[in-house]
């Protein structure tokens, strides 16, 4: 079982708060996956801070290729609006779609994903 790790969890991990312990276990068991969108969210601040070793390690994490199905994204956003799940950004829809396409569990602190999972095939990694 691969676990797609959202940027919110990586931020906790870097701060040693929240899901840090859970992510440490997943890293040790080699179960984590990222995608290019998540890396594009977490790498720039690390590059600015010159955290080159950490950036190099993150670039080695298994990557799930992204195949954006725009009709599916439109369907997800429409479903969210119909269910009253407002304010879901397109990047979060891409992440949800990527997790579902790859049959992975998603580890995130974002409440939108919990709400989306109630109405779709999105599987969350429960702490």
Tell me: the pLDDT tens digits for 8-19? 999 989 888 877
For 106-116, b where at least 16 C-beta lie within 10 A, e where not — what string? Answer: bbbebebbebb
Hey, what domains does the chain have and what are their CATH numbers? 3-124 (3.40.50.1010)
Q: State pLDDT tens for residues 41-70.
A: 999 999 999 999 999 999 999 999 999 999
106 beta partners = 4, 124
Prediction pTM value:
0.93
Q: State pLDDT tens for residues 59-101.
A: 999 999 999 999 999 999 999 999 999 999 999 999 999 999 9
Which residues make Cβ contacts (< 8 Å) with residue 102, sequence separation at least 6?
2, 4, 33, 64
What per-residue confidence (pLDDT) applies to 52? 94
Closest CA to 38 of 69, 66, 15, 17: 66
């Amino acid at each position: 079982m691969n676990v797609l790790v959202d940027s919110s969890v990586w931020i906790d991990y870097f701060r040693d708060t929240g899901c840090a312990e859970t992510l440490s276990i997943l890293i040790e068991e080699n179960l984590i996956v990222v995608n290019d969108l998540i890396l594009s969210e977490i790498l720039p601040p690390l590059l600015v801070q010159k955290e080159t070793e950490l950036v190099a390690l993150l670039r080695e994490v298994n990557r799930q290729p992204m195949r954006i199905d725009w009709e599916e994204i439109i369907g997800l956003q429409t479903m969210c609006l119909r269910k009253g799940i407002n304010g879901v950004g397109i990047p979060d829809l891409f992440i949800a779609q990527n997790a579902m396409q790859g049959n992975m569990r998603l580890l995130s602190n974002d409440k939108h994903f919990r709400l989306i999972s109630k109405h779709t095939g999105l599987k969350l990694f429960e702490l």
